[in-house]
Amino acid sequence: MVTQPDNPPDLPDDERDDADIDDLDTSSEAARDHAFDSITRKQERALLALLREPTIAKAAGVCDTSERTMHRWLNDENFSRVYRKARREAFGQAIGLTQHYAPLAVNTLATLMADKSTPAHARVTAATTLLKFGREGIELDDLAARVEALEQAAQVATGVGGRTGWR
């Protein structure tokens, strides 16, 4: 039986209106990587606000920048690139969190499915969800094996030195 993880992470506070951009540590190595070197400190604060706030208007208010400036920066190629990279990294952390809690989620579904006191519709939904995710897992494994085989075939076809097998 799967148990709850020992150290659940701190989840974001629901009170975003009270958020202050100064609470964000932008001086640490984790927050300020090399991509941030290509934007100004004010743009960095705006980027962090964009990641934290639900709207551009709220992000602008938090970092004391006009909404027009935020839109101009978002249309700037360099700022946009850094912002997309930061969003991907933030999303990657969220994916890691879902993977961390996956065993607990599966255990919860299995418990609901097996509990005779759970309403029938909830038990059916839990069973359907488990079957769906199980099938999708198999499909992903199959797809990964096919991609690996194609990559190996491509390496064989290109041979040493990057030349293709075609002449």
Tens digit of pLDDT for each residue in 108-130? 999 999 999 999 999 999 999 99
**In a domain? residue 7:** no
Percent of the residues in the chain that have a pLDDT greater than 70, as a whole number: 74
Residue 142 predicted with pLDDT over 70: yes
- Total count of domains within the chain: 2
Question: 25: pLDDT confidence band, cut at 50, 70 and 90?
Answer: very low
Does the pLDDT of residue 43 top 80, yes or no? Answer: yes
Scan for tokens 């202050």, then name that residue.
Answer: 20
Does this model's pTM top 0.75?
A: no
Position 3 in a domain: no
My answer on whether 119 and 67 are in the same domain is no
Extract the tokens encoding 83: 């912002």
Residue type, 49: A
What percent of the chain has a predicted confidence (pLDDT) above 90? 69
Q: Can you give the residue range of the structural domain that contains 36?
A: 16-84
